Amino acid sequence: MLPPHGGRLVNRVLPDEEKDGAVKTSTEYPRLEVNEDLAKDIENIAYGVFSPLEGFLCRNDFEKVVHQKRLSNDLPWTLPIVLDASPQEYRGVRGGDTITLTDPQGAPIALLKVDEVYGYDKRDLALNVYGTVDPAHPGVAKTFAMKERLLGGRITLIQRSPDEFQKYRLTPMETRVLFKEKGWNTVVGFQTRNIPHLGHEYVQKTALTFVDGLFINPVIGKKKVGDFKDEVILEAYEALIRHYYLKDLAVMAILRTEMRYAGPREAIFHAIIRKNFGCTHFVVGRDHAGVGKFYPPYAAQEIFNEFPDLGITPLFFKAFFFCRKCGTVVNEKICPHDPSFRTDFSGTGLRQKLSKGEAPPTELIRPEVAEVLLKWKDPFVE
């Protein structure tokens, strides 16, 4: 198993016996409310998912990450994990101060030991991280809506958020113990935001052929209208694993973080996260973490050339489809037949079928998975 990124699994979680005292003490500090996405980032930092980060980036690391895709110690890191604040929120806050980060209801989530408060260039940030300043890109829109200053410093998690998916919430420490218990020396991580179809299954099983175990790691969080609900995705995967995978070779746990849609940079970020979970390999397909047509289809694979020191091994897959001539799921590299034989895995087509209560073709979706999808009255985010 690979060591965590940076060599050590970060643990910024307050021990249980200190929590009550910390909750009381937290009322003495200035308070800053964070949204759901930031709350997830805080937990990810605290439990080591974002190792080696121990808090929100300070200016030096921020500038290096934005412009050079590395931390100031030269460790690969491609997405800035930052905490923004408005003038009202950071007024009077200086380096050395402690502030309490709260949820929208005012409950304390974490303490932040502020190292510095600094300004930044939003346009420069968007252009470097997303490769564009087009406001149609969701990441660009979010960047320009960020507040004026950034607060850098270490966090200490006081309280973990409640979540209905507790069964699937494993920390990197837990996944590492799990993989070791299963006797897995090599593990491939698979990221998904969707219900499983045969294309996904094909990629997972091809990857699994070369390693000891498969770690299916759906990203759970903010959804767009028309996406499948998180609970539908998890139940669909449970059905797939139960019926089509050897019990000791595949496990699933969730990753709670927002999608940035930063394409290539986010592919590296996602690979680092799975390295922290204990994976030795990571699947990168066509247009990983992309949106619209902002990134060339295989840019998220090519960027790995810039990081020979990443540690985790990417497994690259070309676009896959069902070929009626081959009679199975294939990809561009291994199918010699005319495109007229292809059936693409179309999300739109699938939604249309399900909306009518019809099971999709079995060459696209396993019947057991279709049964799960059809069981839900409203499987889509509205």
Partner 1 sequence: MPSGFTLPKSPPRQKVPRMREQYVTLSIPKPLYERAQRAIEGTGFRSVTEYAVFLLRESLSLKPGDSVKERLRALGYID
The residue ranges that bind partner 1 (CB under 8 A) are: 17-18, 21, 167, 170, 173-174, 177-178, 180-182, 251
Q: Among residues 94 and 247, whose Cβ is nearest to partner 1?
A: 247
Output the CA–CA distances (angstroms, integers) from residue 55 to 41, 144, 156, 197, 267, in the order listed. 9, 22, 8, 37, 21
**Which CB sits closer to partner 1, 208 or 251?**
251
Cα separation of 318 and 355, whole Å?
30
* Catalytic-labelled residue, pool 100, 143, 156, 192: 192
Report in angstroms how near the CB of residue 112 gets to partner 1 at its nearest.
22
Q: How many residues does the chain have?
A: 382
Report, in Å, the least distance between residue 253 CB and partner 1: 8
DSSP string, 245-266: S-GGGEEE--EE------HHHH
Q: Which of 11, 194, 206, 313 is catalytic?
A: 194
Q: In the bound complex, what is the minimum distance in angstroms from residue 71's beta carbon to partner 1?
A: 29
Q: How far apart are CA 205 and CA 200, in angstroms?
A: 9
Three-point CA angle 319, 320, 325, nearest 5°: 135
Indicate if 193 belongs to the active site: yes
Angle formed at CA 150 by CA 292 and CA 222, multiple of 5 degrees: 35
The tokens for 334 are 């291994």
Residue 165 beta carbon to partner 1: minimum distance, rounded to whole angstroms: 11
Nearest alpha-carbon partner for 118 in 42, 165, 60? 60
Note whether 325 and 341 are within 8 A (CB): yes
**Least spacing, CB of residue 169 vs partner 1, in Å:** 9
Residue 127 per-residue DSSP state: H
* Candidates 193, 206, 343, 351; catalytic one: 193
Beta carbon nearer to partner 1, 48 or 290: 48
Q: Which residues of 302-331 are buried (b: 16+ CB within 10 A; e: fewer)?
A: ebbeebeebbbbbbebbbbbbbeeeeebbb
Pairing of strands 98-102, 108-119: antiparallel
Is there a catalytic annotation at residue 194? yes
Asked if 8 is an active-site residue, the reply is no
Question: In terms of CB distance, is 252 or 259 closer to partner 1?
Answer: 252
The residue among 168 and 295 lying less far from partner 1, judged by its C-beta, is 168
Least distance from partner 1 to the Cβ atom of residue 255, Å: 16
- Using the minimum distance from each CB to partner 1, give the nearer residue, 160 or 286: 160
- Residue 153: CB atoms within 10 A of its CB come to 22
- Residues marked as catalytic: 192-194
